[in-house]
Structure 1
Amino acid sequence: MKLPGAERTARVGLTDAEYARIVELVGREPGDLELDLFGVMWSEHCSYKTSRPLLRLFPTTGAAVLQGPGENAGIVDIGDGLAVVMKVESHNHPSAVEPYQGAATGSGGIIRDIFTMGARPVAMLDSLRFGDLGEARQRSLFRGVVKGIGDYDNCMGIPTVAGEVGFDDSYTGNCLVNAMCVGIIRHTDIKRGAATGVGNPVILVGATTGRDGMGGASFASVDLTAASQERKSAVQVGDPFLEKLLLEACLELFRTDAVVGIQDLGAAGLTSASCETAARGGMGIDLDVALVPRREDGMVPAEVMISESQERMLVIAHQGREEEVQCIFDKWGLNAAVIGRVTDDGMLTIRNGDVVVGQVPAKALAEQAPLRHPEAVRPAWQDDLLDLDVTRLQQQDDWTGTLTALLGTPTIASKEWVYRQYDSVVRTNTVIGPGSDAAVLRVDGTDHGIALTIDGPGRMCLLDPATGAAMAVAEAARNLVCSGAKPLALTDCLNFGNPEKPEVFWQFSQAVVGMSEACRKLRIPVIGGNVSFYNETGASAIVPTPVVGMVGVVEDLAHICRQGFGEPDSVVVLLGANTDELGGSEYVRVATGRRAGRVPLLDLEREKEVQELCLTGIRRGLIRSAHDVSDGGLSVTLAESCISGQMGADLSLPAGIRPDALLFGEAPSRIVVTVGAGDLQALVDAAVEMGVPLAVLGTTGGTLLNIDVSGKSLVRAPVVDLAAAWSGSLPQVMSV
């Protein structure tokens, strides 16, 4: 039998049990407005009611961590009284419906998370996934998302310095758009989103409120359907010029001591901003929606409270400082209105003029959604994927042709078509921009730099979620090390299908376990992140795609590394050991049309040792270039190093491994580096001391990439031909 009033819950996406809990917390049947508030705040998107129990497995503390999960963004110390603020979030469903605005407002939202903490944003990164670009709709989505990101970030004057793009049929109905923002802040300038001080004014500043983005939080907590893909009202509309004014006004305001707390209006709009700040401060907030500046007539209180109109902030100021705050916002041409006051009753009270239209405990909305514990079942089809015997794949007659073709596959090919649409050097602090293993930015006033990367090997996670997710952490750290940085902390965006399906929840739980283990072994804390569920259309879910954004510190900008073979007669060295593992590789996917095979083993101790050797070599000035082995395997790594440096190499690989596995296997814990002939012995000695396998492969120079085994040439091609295949693929397909 249904509980009284439970038939109302379907409208807001809650269960009978959740409705009963609301009645218990409120002490009565909620009104329609109050139920709307619980609907958005207790949605999966806002409450994390399914993922929270597992996310507690992540290591979130460390000597350098100044702010872990629970605030708008995480903060990690980088020395000299400075810190990095960073966060990554998804905007998948909105981008699938309206790619330009969905991606643009994804950028806008993550930027606000950073300057809400008091930091100036200094860099943007993105991780994108689409289906087959042979389909016109996928090309349209891809084009719209890239333009949306570029237009917003470029208008904001924030460089987009790194990212990744992948393609797989599983993303056909549900593209992924994950945006990451990074800021720099002094320790003394950190702000937090807590409302304290009875009587302090609550000020809404920025854009006027409209009906755009209505129900966006709940929209992101259900599967995409044909009907939902028509819900463009659930997609916000962004204005980067207004956000730029908001950013500068807030940073100027922070230079005063007038601010008690601040929160951006993202998912669930004014509802989330008010109840979360009240809950963090252990206080209440009394709001009058009649005072909220609007751009549409006839909006009812519920619409005002859950609207997700962009470019808005909620400021809690010290009582008596209202005029000072107003003057700063007036200077920047921004709307600002006192819409309420902080109270000591712990309630979120909503008025419409003199009439109280809703009153619920702020903590109940923000923190007390009942946790869900879905069943986790390993999919029966998992063994079918793993049982592919890659040793029985037919050997190719033309390995040069195979490498050339692989370089042209969209996932491996150059992403210059994407990042040339972004301004990567605005603000003039970009030392290494898009196209390398990681971006490097100088930190003003110091000799230091920060390195940034974002990675997510979904293909491996489908086959083995725990190992694949651990590989995401290891690869991100390896990318930073290849640039000369020590990894410090990560932020993640975990993209999965419907967690109510036991097979999907098994994938998610395994991925969290794998990431947690990798973070602990590599000593990299998780300081923030985002979970995006319900990424599926009909019965088809995306492959599990945990995305890892990571920051590291470059101690001295004189010791940074690029991936290209930049000097002739350098010695090419492989750090780590080749294996005969081919499963899960892009080569297998292309050769068989399947994501299949057992994923390579990941030895986290070996991974750590290889990274430490590489970083030691860079800091000692021994290593001239470094590029990690990942998508496409060793041959693709070597080809990309030749292409980036516009230089050939004459190389000989160790015998004893099948040619396909040797050239295209994607086993982790390997880095290709170059050293001067006079520095080789010092690197060898360091490798012996640290117990890391090392192989000398050959030398750089000339115009050809030649790879042989036991005197037999496997690959021989002009670098310009390889470059043409690698750089021409995306422009060609996108010109259709």
Structure 2
Amino acid sequence: MSLSDADRELVVAELGRDPTPAETVLFENLWSEHCAYRSSRPLLSAFSSEGDQVVVGPGDDAAVVRLPTSDGAETTDGETYVTMGIESHNHPSYVDPYDGAATGVGGIVRDTLSMGAYPIALADSLYFGDFDREHSRYLLEGVVEGIADYGNAIGVPTVAGSVEFHEDYEGNPLVNVACVGLLDADRLVTAEAQSAGNKLVLVGNATGRDGLGGASFASEDLAEDAETEDRPAVQVGDPYSEKLLVEANEELVTDGLVESARDLGAAGLGGASSELVAKGGFGAEIALDRVHQREPNMSALEILLAESQERMCYEVRPEHVDRVAEIAEKYDLGCSVIGEVTEGNYVCTFEGSEGNQRETVVDVPPEFLAEGAPMNDLDSVAPEQPDRDLPDADLTAAFEAVVGSPNTASKRWVYRQYDHEVGLRTAVRPGDDAAVMAIRDAGVGLAISAGANPNWTTCAPYDGARAVALENATNLATKGATPLAAVDCLNGGNPEKPDVYGGFEAVVDGLADMCRALSVPVVGGNVSLYNDSVAGPIPPTPTLAVVGTKAGYEAPPAAFAGEGELLLVGDSGGALGGSEYLARMGGSDAFPELPADAGDVLTTLADVADAETTLAVHDVSHGGLAVSLAEMVTADAGADVALDSVFTLFDETPGRAVVETTDADAVREAFDGVAPVTTLGAATDDGRLSLSVADETLDYGVNEIVDLRDVIARELD
């Protein structure tokens, strides 16, 4: 990738001269799609990001929201905040799945650190080609290993996320990583420079040549030879240094030594330092040769743009510089005073290793560099929904195909590799609808759900994205939580293709509309375009990570207790479009209609979930009732269920849930006028699932169900 002729003309007009080589590459990276959101920023105004709980919204390294405090709080001295951030590491994870995924975790954790927060949870949403393909399994194994090794080593639990398989990810997998952090209100730091004269201090690993051009690499389609030719653009992570940086950052913030901070991610030092000062309305003078380096004879351009990991840029008052250096030395981290905040341009100078005369390699207006990229005006073609063409499938074959699909199967093989209990906050572990973290400082449970469904957004990008938002919020409601805020990772193909851009527009609008309907502010996020390869574009994939709160930390399980009546709450959307049933059995259909009053449905569901008479709650979505009921069966508890049609068994309309209760009348009363309640049958104590569907009967023991659902572990163990 290189600076386009049109962009070069703008730069020349602004500077009044030709840009230097370092300036050219700096503009190339900071004006890339990955950094500047040139094709997506015009669409992002669709999101509502405001609310009384929002402290820091979009535009910083991570968003910050205020937690409600309950009577059970352990501390009452001040407000408790949580940070939320999400990033993609898609292209790097294709080229090098282990390091690509690992450094994705490292980057989003450092975004959390830059707000003054301590990272407490990760959520990983992963998308691969068909599971039957050897290459997809190779990528899955490498990505999961990278996430596990990095997250486990730094002591941040991975508690939520999703894994999806779809043929259109074969040439371009997606790795979307979200992080939640915790901080007291008086510890808040932002990425906005505060005062001219303050020093810029680089803390962390030494700078090497890894990751050069990563931002521009992420802003173009993957080539057929990307796995070999683009490997130098992939960073290499060091989780043990990251753990030291986490603890050093905690001490720096506790001691009040940080005025502002920015993680060194895309475009390296050049990106972090220029964006930090531009955001505060300042400039900078930076001596690039003062940067502590891992390799000899690095050029100014390499130092400026290397994306070496585990590095932070801090704004520090002059009188605090020595103390910052002491803390860095305590944690065996490198530390360089590389320059200072100024009132002028963003200026970088360099003196070579051979004692050459110091030269100015960058001298540009910081705001023009950070925010001056022109937006793209792209053509789009609106997607169309398919017609109804339902298959005439054998019930047993359909049930086993859907329940045994890698998309709906147990993800135990994935999450058992993650340490999800480190930190002693995980009250509800992976494998449930949502994780719940015990935030004892505020006395509340923090529920977390993240993911998307490419079948839905392939069928109907707008309504599929609305369903993604509703599904994630429903996951919170089944744990008795109400949504607090969300961040999104919007993944699309090459936006220069009108049909691809039309689908991307639709998922943005759909996600924004449902989040607004649910009163969930979208407080931050990430956009990843050009996820396109010789195999074609990915499905439009709007990963959403949502957090919600509840009083206390306990939540009803998603597994049967074996003692209550079974009810289905929520209304069917009347169609099977985007369902796993059609993906496995063939056919097509329109996407189901979603409830008009989804917010009321979820509020009522959260109240029912918290009732003492509620024994179990599990959402109905991927795979429909067939999968939900199969997931609820245990060795000691099963169900005897009667349904009126095959359609009812495989309907994936989100916003619905199975409730096991000892007081069915109370559930019906709670949902009266809100959503229909259907009697399914009763829970049993025999560990079997007996399904009567119209005039056919299915009967499976728990071991048979486990065998069906364990396809991923069976293939990879």
**TM over 0.5: same fold?**
yes
User: Is it true that 1:46 corresponds to 2:38 in the alignment?
Assistant: no
**8 Å contact kept, 2:124–2:177:** yes
CA displacement at 1:470 relative to structure 2: 0.7
1:643-664 CA distances to partner (integer Å, 9 max, x unpaired)? 4x741111222x3xxx331111
- Alignment-derived partner of residue 493 in structure 2: 497
User: In angstroms, what is the RMSD of aligned CA positions?
Assistant: 1.5
Structure-to-structure mapping, 1:518-667, within 5 angstroms: 518-538=514-534, 540-558=536-554, 560-566=555-561, 568-578=562-572, 580-592=574-586, 596-605=588-597, 607-643=598-634, 646-653=636-643, 655=644, 659-667=645-653
Partner Cα separation in structure 2 for residue 84 and residue 666 of structure 1: 32
1:427-465 CA distances to partner (integer Å, 9 max, x unpaired)? 111111110000001012343110001020111111211
User: Is it true that 1:693 corresponds to 2:676 in the alignment?
Assistant: yes
1:169-222 CA distances to partner (integer Å, 9 max, x unpaired)? 101111111111111111111100122322211111101111100000000000
Partner Cα separation in structure 2 for residue 651 and residue 732 of structure 1: 29
**8 Å contact kept, 1:522–1:604:** no
User: Is it true that 1:79 corresponds to 2:68 in the alignment?
Assistant: yes
CA displacement at 1:162 relative to structure 2: 1.2
Q: Percent identity?
A: 40
User: Is it true that 1:704 corresponds to 2:679 in the alignment?
Assistant: no
- Alignment-derived partner of residue 193 in structure 1: 191
- Alignment-derived partner of residue 341 in structure 2: 342
**8 Å contact kept, 2:573–2:593:** no
CA displacement at 1:265 relative to structure 2: 0.1
**8 Å contact kept, 1:164–1:455:** yes
Partner Cα separation in structure 2 for residue 508 and residue 315 of structure 1: 36
**8 Å contact kept, 1:84–1:183:** yes
SS at match of 1:466: helix
For 1:201, give the aligned amino acid: K
For 1:716, give the aligned amino acid: D
Partner Cα separation in structure 2 for residue 426 and residue 571 of structure 1: 36
**8 Å contact kept, 1:430–1:441:** yes
1:654-679 CA distances to partner (integer Å, 9 max, x unpaired)? x3xxx331111212221111111xx2
User: Is it true that 1:674 corresponds to 2:660 in the alignment?
Assistant: yes
- Alignment-derived partner of residue 314 in structure 1: 313
Moved more, 608-617 or 165-174: 608-617
For 2:590, give the aligned amino acid: R
Partner Cα separation in structure 2 for residue 387 and residue 691 of structure 1: 30
> Runs of at least 4 residues of structure 1 off by over 3 A?
348-353
Partner Cα separation in structure 2 for residue 73 and residue 487 of structure 1: 18
SS at match of 2:67: strand
**8 Å contact kept, 1:275–1:348:** no
- Alignment-derived partner of residue 75 in structure 2: none
**8 Å contact kept, 1:76–1:83:** yes
Structure 2 gaps of 5+ residues are 70-78, 352-356
Structure-to-structure mapping, 1:131-142, within 5 angstroms: 131-142=129-140
CA displacement at 1:137 relative to structure 2: 1.8
1:272-305 CA distances to partner (integer Å, 9 max, x unpaired)? 1111111111111100011011111121101110
Partner Cα separation in structure 2 for residue 579 and residue 194 of structure 1: 46
- Alignment-derived partner of residue 260 in structure 1: 259
SS at match of 2:633: helix
For 1:586, give the aligned amino acid: E
1:53-99 CA distances to partner (integer Å, 9 max, x unpaired)? 10011001111111110000011111241121011110000000000
Partner Cα separation in structure 2 for residue 86 and residue 578 of structure 1: 33
Q: How many correspondences in the alignment?
A: 701
CA displacement at 1:142 relative to structure 2: 0.8
Which of 424, 444, 450 pairs up with 1:454?
A: 450
- Alignment-derived partner of residue 88 in structure 1: 86
CA displacement at 1:719 relative to structure 2: 2.4
CA displacement at 1:141 relative to structure 2: 0.9
CA displacement at 1:378 relative to structure 2: 2.7
- Alignment-derived partner of residue 143 in structure 2: 145
For 1:19, give the aligned amino acid: R
Structure 1 gaps of 5+ residues are 1-10
- Alignment-derived partner of residue 231 in structure 2: 232
**8 Å contact kept, 1:572–1:672:** yes
For 1:731, give the aligned amino acid: A
For 1:583, give the aligned amino acid: G
Partner Cα separation in structure 1 for residue 714 and residue 609 of structure 2: 37
- Alignment-derived partner of residue 387 in structure 1: 387
SS at match of 2:227: helix
Which of 28, 44, 49 pairs up with 1:55?
A: 44
**8 Å contact kept, 2:197–2:341:** yes
Moved more, 419-428 or 348-357: 348-357
Partner Cα separation in structure 2 for residue 150 and residue 722 of structure 1: 28
Partner Cα separation in structure 1 for residue 578 and residue 407 of structure 2: 14
- Alignment-derived partner of residue 217 in structure 1: 215
Moved more, 462-471 or 401-410: 401-410
Partner Cα separation in structure 1 for residue 12 and residue 573 of structure 2: 59
**8 Å contact kept, 2:575–2:589:** no
Partner Cα separation in structure 2 for residue 74 and residue 57 of structure 1: 18
Partner Cα separation in structure 2 for residue 481 and residue 350 of structure 1: 55
- Alignment-derived partner of residue 73 in structure 2: none
Judged with a 3 Å threshold, the aligned counterparts in structure 2 of structure 1 residues 400 and 609 are, in CA distance, closer, same or farther, namely: farther
SS at match of 2:568: strand
Partner Cα separation in structure 1 for residue 7 and residue 557 of structure 2: 53
- Alignment-derived partner of residue 278 in structure 1: 277
CA displacement at 1:258 relative to structure 2: 2.2
- Alignment-derived partner of residue 97 in structure 2: 99
- Alignment-derived partner of residue 434 in structure 1: 430
For 2:253, give the aligned amino acid: F
For 1:601, give the aligned amino acid: E
Partner Cα separation in structure 2 for residue 194 and residue 516 of structure 1: 27
For 1:135, give the aligned amino acid: R
SS at match of 2:361: strand
Partner Cα separation in structure 2 for residue 373 and residue 506 of structure 1: 13
- Alignment-derived partner of residue 177 in structure 2: 179
Structure-to-structure mapping, 1:456-475, within 5 angstroms: 456-475=452-471
**8 Å contact kept, 2:403–2:626:** no
- Alignment-derived partner of residue 5 in structure 1: none
- Alignment-derived partner of residue 119 in structure 2: 121
- Alignment-derived partner of residue 37 in structure 1: 26
SS at match of 2:408: coil
**8 Å contact kept, 1:579–1:661:** no
For 1:365, give the aligned amino acid: L
**8 Å contact kept, 1:579–1:662:** no
SS at match of 1:56: helix
Judged with a 3 Å threshold, the aligned counterparts in structure 2 of structure 1 residues 198 and 691 are, in CA distance, closer, same or farther, namely: closer
For 2:578, give the aligned amino acid: G
1:236-273 CA distances to partner (integer Å, 9 max, x unpaired)? 00000000001100110101222111111000000111
SS at match of 1:212: coil
Moved more, 695-704 or 325-334: 695-704
**8 Å contact kept, 2:290–2:337:** yes
User: Is it true that 1:356 corresponds to 2:340 in the alignment?
Assistant: no
1:684-719 CA distances to partner (integer Å, 9 max, x unpaired)? 21111x432111211111232112246x44322222
For 1:387, give the aligned amino acid: D
1:567-605 CA distances to partner (integer Å, 9 max, x unpaired)? x2211111112454222211111112x7x4211111241
User: Is it true that 1:64 corresponds to 2:53 in the alignment?
Assistant: yes
Partner Cα separation in structure 1 for residue 150 and residue 189 of structure 2: 25
CA displacement at 1:315 relative to structure 2: 0.8
Judged with a 3 Å threshold, the aligned counterparts in structure 2 of structure 1 residues 229 and 709 are, in CA distance, closer, same or farther, namely: closer
- Alignment-derived partner of residue 730 in structure 1: 712
